[in-house]
Amino acid sequence: MPLYITAQVTAADDDAMVIVNSSDVTSWGNDGSAVRKIRVHAGSNPLLIRVLNRRSYTGGPPLLGGHPPEGWKFSVVLAVEVVRSSVYSTGGKIARKTTVPDMASGSQWCAE
């Protein structure tokens, strides 16, 4: 039974990359908020989120040219999509039926 995840970077300052099984699957800089479908395999599938923050202000007294400290942010939505396959009989012939659930109602995790 194939298993897929979807990955979507919904926000990043300045960039965020999602890496699954050592492959770059999506990034804010390249894909914006596009949803990417990734096939995963049985067993371990390492997931890494790399966040890049370009020039940051670290603070300091405003009178000496300092700025308020600047942080960074990212938001990534991961969802699991399972393709279910079942075998049934139709008058002596074997048929295979595959269904894919609606992702809008699927399980989702959000890292912020």
- pLDDT per position as a tens digit, 21-69: 999 999 999 999 999 999 898 889 999 999 988 776 666 777 777 776 6
Distance of CA 59 to the CA centre of its chain: 32
Bigger pLDDT: 85 or 38?
38
**Rounded distance between C-alpha atoms, residue 112 and residue 19, angstroms:** 17
Q: Do 16 and 74 meet the contact criterion of CB atoms below 8 Å apart?
A: yes
Helix (H) / strand (E) element for 27: namely strand 23-27
Whether residue 86 is predicted with pLDDT greater than 60 in this model: the reply is: no
**Contacts with 48 (C-beta within 8 Å, 6 or more apart), sequence order:** 18, 19, 20
Task: Give the residue from 41, 30, 49 showing the smallest Cα distance to 5.
Answer: 41
Bigger pLDDT: 97 or 84?
84
For residue 111, name the pLDDT band (cuts at 50, 70, 90).
Answer: very low
- Domain holding 106, by residue range, is 3-111
Whether residue 112 is predicted with pLDDT greater than 70 in this model: the reply is: no
Instruction: Tell me how many domains the chain contains.
Output: 1
pTM of the entire structure? 0.62
pLDDT for the residue 36: 94
Sign of the four-CA dihedral 69, 78, 38, 32: negative
Bigger pLDDT: 99 or 4?
4
Residue 31 structure tokens: 């894909």
